[in-house]
Amino acid sequence: MKSNIFFNRENWLLFFLFLFSLLINQYYGNKGIFPIDGFGNFDAGFRILLGEHPFKDYWVNTGPIIDYIQATFFYLFGISWQTYVLHASILNAILTITTFIVLRKFKLNIFYSFLYSLFFSILAYPSSGTPFVDHHSAFFSLLGVYFLILSVKEEKKIYFILFPLLFGIAFLSKQTPAAYIILFSIIILILYSIALKNFFWIKYSLISSLLFIFFLFTFGIINGINLNLFLDQYLFFPKSIGEQRFENLSFSFRGVIDHFKFIYLSFLPIFYINIKNIFLKKNYFKEKEFLYFLILFTFFISLLFHQLLTKNQTFIFFLIPILTAFSQISLSFDKTRLNSFLCLTILLICLFATIKYHQRYNQDRKFHELSYVDFSLSDDAGKIDDKLSGLKWITPDFKENPAYEISLINETKVHLKNDKRKKMLMTNYSFFSIILNEKLYYPGRWYSPDGTTHPLKGNKYFDSYKNLLIKLIKENKIDVIYIVNSEKNLNITDNSIYDYINKECFEKTTINNLLTSFELKNCNEING
């Protein structure tokens, strides 16, 4: 028995896939950094270890569960940049081997299953390399979709219990695309259950969903997370942003068709076969093959729509190997005479797309705005602190002189370390509390001047953020607020403070090209 397990080909392939997918992400997660995206959850994980919680202790409009997962990684493996990247690497590995297992359950040839899983591992998390809300939401949704498909295929209770939990984790990673996928999945399951007059699916998935919601409520009550704060920060404020983006949404051939052409091509065979079968087969809509198609189709459409709405770089090219694999599975069901030729064609298309997007998003780090950067100029982030060792430091704002940026950061670090007063920090260099081992009471996880990270003047939820900011200052007896900014990209302006608290309450001092202090004076707004 032991020898069979040891010499089992699939086990060795799984081991290779796990190792490869982990190491490739670990490598690219250390290649350059876009501070606002790359550090977003880094400090937040540390804050959880210090006993703080999102919504209550800092403003969060995306991804609170990522902070808790990161805190767990820090607790288990130590507080460092490598542990931070490991979080994303492990998820990349889990997704890759799950993809392989799912494809094999659908009887896809072991060679093709391996190749498509390998391609997936290259296009999945390495584009970011570090934990990021969009990726987590999409990938936990994908795991949920996998278990949803398996629940239909094998009708096992465990799958019906697991997929709602994974959808819940996806939603708490980021509201979209998870919300779209959850909504479509509910509609599909209800309609399918009515068509078959079998409500087995709904029963167990509903129980699982209610247990998940009960756990969330219990967790919130135990940790003093006010429900209204959660609703304002995670549902209502992001909803207002989404509505604005939807109103301003514009389409172009380049943006909708050409940019995603390889995704469309990978989905074309399965789309054609299912549309054909709708007309040729009686009651085809009741068959499991049609249900697989609907689930995959709505997953694909949800991600595409999300990508069109988001301001972040494209990250959904991981769909190509997944859709290609299921297209090949559909071709095997269809038994077309051109099966072999079509399978080879879509495999070659998938291979070409993988190489193309690997170069653009992994090698060139386009997702982190580092295209056309000379990575030979990157410096060792360990010069800032040992906890950042391994990160090859180069950012979009200082791509020609990363050593100068590091020197400014170190100058800032020394100043903050020598200031023994109670401090609050606003920055997208979200690592200072970690390297100083000190609470710095960031009011938010990240800062953008366009109002997507926290409410600006005129927003309906402006007062909610203002009240949280003042509460943090009062409760923690803050003496000075620091802004750490890039001298070339002023994401955090004076208005990040003055719009919420009268400027007469502060004495402003410019420390260096990164650091500005706002010393609090006696004022009714704070001291009253």
Tokens representing 171? Answer: 């939603």
Cα gap 424→444, rounded to integer Å: 11
Predicted local distance difference test score (pLDDT) of residue 379: 97
Strand partners, 444: 59
Q: Do residue 410 and residue 499 come from a single domain?
A: yes
Q: What pLDDT does 240 receive?
A: 86
CB atoms within 10 A of CB 509: 12
Whole-number Å distance between alpha carbons of 399 and 413: 21
Whether residues 154 and 249 share a domain: the answer is yes
Distances in Å between the Cα of 223 and the Cα atoms of 46, 171, 172 are 17, 20, 17
Mean pLDDT of the 59-73 span: 95
Instruction: Using the predicted structure, report yes or no on whether residue 236 has a pLDDT greater than 60.
Output: yes
Crossing angle for the helix pair 157-173 and 200-222, to the nearest 10 degrees:
40
Write down which residue in 368, 391, 414 finishes a domain: 368
pLDDT at 1 over 50: no
Evaluate whether residue 393 is within a structural domain.
Answer: no
pLDDT value at position 523? 85
Q: Which of 346, 368, 390 is the last residue of a domain?
A: 368
Tell me whether residue 374 is in a domain: no
**105 within domain boundaries:** yes
Q: Do 456 and 417 lie in a common domain?
A: yes
Q: Give the closest residue to 303 by CA, choosing from 290, 294, 292, 314.
A: 314
- Three-state secondary-structure class, residue 306: helix
Does the pLDDT value for residue 181 go beyond 90? yes
Is there a single domain that holds both residue 339 and residue 240? yes
d(CA 205, CA 212): 11
Query: For the chain, how many helices (H) and strands (E)?
Result: 23, 6
Structural domain range at position 452? 399-527
Question: Is the predicted pLDDT of residue 365 greater than 80, yes or no?
Answer: yes
Residue 272 and residue 139 share a domain: yes
Contact assessment for residue 368 and residue 38, using Cβ atoms and an 8 Å cutoff? yes
Partners of residue 296 on adjacent β-strands: none
* Mean pLDDT across the chain: 92
* pLDDT tens digits along 470-520: 999 999 999 999 999 876 666 788 999 999 999 999 999 999 989 999 999
Q: Is residue 314 part of a domain?
A: yes
- Residues 179, 290, single domain; the answer is yes
pLDDT at 466 over 50: yes
Q: Is residue 164 part of a domain?
A: yes
Looking at the fold, whether 336 and 466 belong to one and the same domain comes out as no
Burial of 8 (0-12, 13-18, 19+ CB in 10 A): exposed
Residue 320 and residue 266 in contact, taking contact as beta carbons nearer than 8 Å: yes
Torsion sign, CA atoms 244, 247, 252, 258: positive
Same domain, 44 and 107: yes
434 and 324 together in one domain: no
Residue 179 pLDDT more than 50?
Answer: yes
Closest by CA to 62, choosing from 137, 141, 167, 140, is 137
Question: Where does a domain end: 352, 368, 384?
Answer: 368
Say what percent of the chain tops pLDDT 70: 95
pLDDT for residue 29 is more than 50? yes
Q: Is 460 domain-assigned? A: yes
> Chain centroid to CA 131: how far?
6
For residue 225, which phi and psi values (nearest 5 degrees)?
A: -90, 110
User: Angle CA(264)–CA(266)–CA(268) in degrees, nearest 5?
Assistant: 65
Residues 325, 411, single domain; the answer is no
Count of domains observed in the chain = 2
Region of poorest pLDDT, from 100-109, 138-147, 340-349? 340-349
- Predicted TM-score (pTM) of the model is 0.95
Q: Give the model's pLDDT for residue 199.
A: 79
- Asked if 423 and 344 sit in the same domain, the reply is no
The token pair at 37 is 């995206």
pLDDT of residue 486: 74
Alpha-carbon gap, residue 435 to 242, rounded angstroms: 35
* Residues 95 and 206 reside in one and the same domain: yes
391 is a domain residue: no
Q: Is pLDDT at 337 greater than 60 in this prediction?
A: no
As a whole-number percent, the residues of the chain with pLDDT over 90 amount to 76
Distance CA 478, CA 497 (A): 14
DSSP-H helix ranges across 281-397: 288-309, 319-334, 339-357
Domain assignment of residue 384, yes or no: no
Tens digits of per-residue pLDDT, 67-111?
Answer: 999 999 999 999 999 999 999 999 999 999 999 999 999 999 999
Q: Per-residue pLDDT tens for 404-425?
A: 999 999 999 999 999 999 999 9
Q: Please tell me the predicted confidence (pLDDT) of residue 253.
A: 66
DSSP string of 373-438? --GGG-EEGGGT-GGGTT-EE--GGGTT-HHHHHHHHHHHHHHHHH--S-EEEEES-TTHHHHHTS
CA distance 446 to 425: 11
Residue 290 CB neighbours (<10 A): 17
> What is the pLDDT confidence band of residue 395, given thresholds at 50, 70 and 90?
very high
